[in-house]
Amino acid sequence: MSTHLIEVNNLRKIYSVRKKEYLYAVNNLSFYIEEGETYGLVGESGCGKTTTGRVMLGLEKADGGSVSYRGKNLCLLKEKEFRPFRKELQMVFQNSLSALNPRKRIGDILEEILLVHGIKNSAKRRETVMDMLTRVGLLEEHYFRFPHELSGGQVQRLGIAGALIVKPKLIVCDEPVSALDVSIQAQILNMLVKLKKEMHLSLLFISHDIGVVRFISDRIGVMYLGTLVEEAKTENLFENPLHPYTKALFASVPDPYMKKKDFEKLVGEQQKRNEMFLGCAFCKRCPNADEKCRKEVPELREVESGHKVACHYAK
């Protein structure tokens, strides 16, 4: 039996940007997350990571493909039918503060989430909130504080508390530590790893920071222009990156080990993908691109067990 908790198949999200002009923010994207797994989605700004997370959680409608959660296609559900899944699928944002009501005390914010999810007993709510605050490394006294009275790191802890308090199965973490300094990043990542184990969670971890994704992920999908160009177990990806884009990403990491490999740095800019787009998503920036790359979309093919790459010439 499949242990895939969630499966994304040929997902597509198209935005209309101007009259008769469309942008393919997510295009033919497929991956799965197993129960208990952390899947890292990495790629440069604008490649469609956030859009993917939002569509998976039903915050935006897909324009094609499916998101299958425990065998149910979430894309076909109406708002009311989606409700039972809201509790199980939660999201943590880069800037949790903007999602918090500044006029409410932290305790009330968290209790309200429980109330929405049907916990009517106020003593139970308070107890759950106090427990959650300490689990994410906040203090019970924070219950009475307002969001703006917290530091950046504490705000992100609160964002995580808000997602975890309803005991979800999967959380989508969208750049949850990107705005924090490195030492606080490490503390929060370690906390996420610990909570994931304790609460039997699965994680989709979105980031443009390859180092952060490497630390936390079991498997990694490298995304470029709305689609996956490479996917592998974390250690395999770092040991043997195959796609020219993955190599270019690694070349930009200030890590002497990676530098040794002498990968070519990324030049130029990401194009916009629209209906006129032919060929490989990366061909305009690829040092090895030829006529075939400009005409034929390379399939994401498995080159060794669990290691997939979408490049005509990757071996």
Ligand X SMILES: Nc1ncnc2c1ncn2[C@@H]1O[C@H](COP(=O)(O)OP(=O)(O)OP(=O)(O)O)[C@@H](O)[C@H]1O
Nearest alpha carbon to residue 82 among 67, 94, 93: 67
Minimum CB separation of residue 91 from ligand X in Å reads 13
Which range in 15-23, 65-73, 80-88, 300-308 contacts ligand X by CB under 6 A? 15-23
Site string for ligand X, 38-77 (x = CB under 6 A): -----x-xxxxxxx--------------------------
| Residue with Cβ nearer ligand X (25 or 132) | 25
Residue whose token pair is 């060794």 = 304
Residue from the set 50, 96, 156, 227 that interacts with Mg ion by CB under 5 A: 50
Spatial separation of the C-alpha atoms in residues 308 and 187, rounded to whole Å = 32
Site string for ligand X, 200-229 (x = CB under 6 A): --------x---------------------
Q: Indicate whether 15 belongs to the interface with ligand X (CB under 6 A).
A: yes
* Cα dihedral 172, 270, 306, 236 sign: negative
CA distances from 162 to 93, 137, 194, 283 (A): 11, 13, 17, 42
- Which residues, in sequence order, are CB contacts of 149 under 8 Å at separation 6+? none
Residue 187, amino acid: Q
| Residue with Cβ nearer Mg ion (42 or 289) | 42
What does 17 bind: ligand X, Mg ion, none (CB cut-off 5 to 8 Å by kind)?
Answer: ligand X
Minimum CB separation of residue 15 from ligand X in Å reads 3
Size of the site for ligand X (CB under 6 A): 13
Nearest alpha carbon to residue 155 among 147, 146, 143, 163: 147
* Cα dihedral 93, 94, 99, 102 sign: positive
What does 116 bind: Mg ion, ligand X, none (CB cut-off 5 to 8 Å by kind)?
Answer: none
> Helix 152-164 vs helix 182-198: angle between axes, to the nearest 10 degrees?
20
Q: Indicate whether 25 belongs to the interface with ligand X (CB under 6 A).
A: yes
Q: Indicate whether 51 belongs to the interface with Mg ion (CB under 5 A).
A: no
Binding site for ligand X (CB under 6 A): 15, 17, 23, 25, 43, 45-51, 208
Binding site for Mg ion (CB under 5 A): 50
